[in-house]
Chains A and B, each alone.
Chain A
């Protein structure tokens, strides 16, 4: 282990005003299966040291993995990086919050299950999926992983915080084939408890998806009422997350600058960040700068309440950090569990109330096809065509376009099926009055 105390002491002697070490450790096991045999297994543990320091009022960053890295070299590189900074940003290394919430976590039980049993659950998942329907041509991905990730933050202001999380997940990918049509079904089940990994549910979800999409084709180009299913809606919110980021606001890269307390979405929209959610693997009591986390409304009854902030962006806007500091090379901003709150009607009811429209289950290429500043997007989409309140046929190779803010002012109904993804972004299914669709 690196001697943190010595690094802090030496840094102080070398005219560094404040210094912080963010030490992330992980221990991972992953096993993948192909046609009934283990084809890959991986076991490792690692330790990454991310150091940041304030020198002459500027914050510099350095990350390394060799625990024997020379302390003098670390300090020299930090100073060199600080020396080139010219942005007039007020920075801070945090002394700590008054108190921290406690996060109730279940006993995961991952270490009580043998590797042989973990392989057995994978074999069962694969077998169930391949036998569920004769049109399943291939199981192209079947893997189990478990990981224990820890974060230790220690700094020259006396902060010393530690958190640890263990979770496991199964990933299943299936290919269905009928005639010329190939369709895939993909399911990722992530869990805090080993017992929550249910092979039957995982297999059924992936298989249903692939089979129901067989024979999918484009529909005519026009404006349709569109229900975006919960998982796809969460992907869309994730794509536009930076709209609510204090960091983007600082760089004037979001159209919401200066719009606090203004109405930006229709009345029934609430967008919440809840870092303390009981069953999300993403939950945490403090953020990556040691600021205590808490639940907050980003949008409340359609009114924009606050950007998400880390220490730096909060200072820029004269407010307090919202506990959303997120380590990504340097210190960025991110929601922890950021979601659109649910409504009352079930997805089935939303479908039943649609005379003609589309149910979109998948949005692809969002990393390239959206503009987080303007809110515009065009995404390759697939899903189902709805006629007279019933799903009539699968649809693929269409493009659904829209503008995120305009859409959120043109909602027909918000569903009750809130889904939180493994990345901590969530949404229920939402029906929009009309979105342009390009197809045939």
Chain B
């Protein structure tokens, strides 16, 4: 198992190198001049040229990439052109907010999405099932910004129960989490439903029922555990997308998150910040994916046995358990 984890972490390194190269090249070929964006229209051509020189933007692609990578090797992500602050500082000031928000959203989505998915699967074609299907479709189709604004209008303007924007205490999280989660709740519910439906038709479920197990055991111990793999994959994807920030929501709720930082950085052609941000998101993606893969092993011993093929003893033991 440990060997597998180490191997996966080592594989990440070339992936990250590839990411830096691709994002660096993309920013290089995109038109737009960070120095002009910083100085504005009033500045003279000389002033713009001098600033480009100061930031090393007049050098060739090779030179720039090399010096960026040299910096990276020393853990230096460079300076944000716009704020003049180190990129690491800019990112670190926003990651906790985004991570907290992503975590809350995924917990909220799992707690709601999975149970209603199960419910609608075991009561297939019932009224509840139809209701869940319709609501899930709506949850996916409503644009997040629209939902967010409607929630604000209802809970802040009409009822006056919740604050409209900012993050200055627990109550401030309610509206953003609700509006961001609508989509992932719906996706999770649909995924759980279809995955469960597939599993409950399997022979071993019939066997389980035939040998007289009660419904709860059948559903949670036999069906759900086997339906878990696609659900976990979806959870992982939703979590990663939450971690890379939700621009529209951050904008509406004035949340200092990673998403808006990235969009602003791209608009201003703040190369270092864009590169640092993408790299961070890539790292987070790798970590979450690794975590999900390890969870697979946890819920499904068959996969676990694949992770440690070399150790035949363990494998044997697991085969026995399975049998």
Please indicate whether A and B come from the same complex rather than being unrelated chains. no
B interface list, Cβ under 8 A from A: none
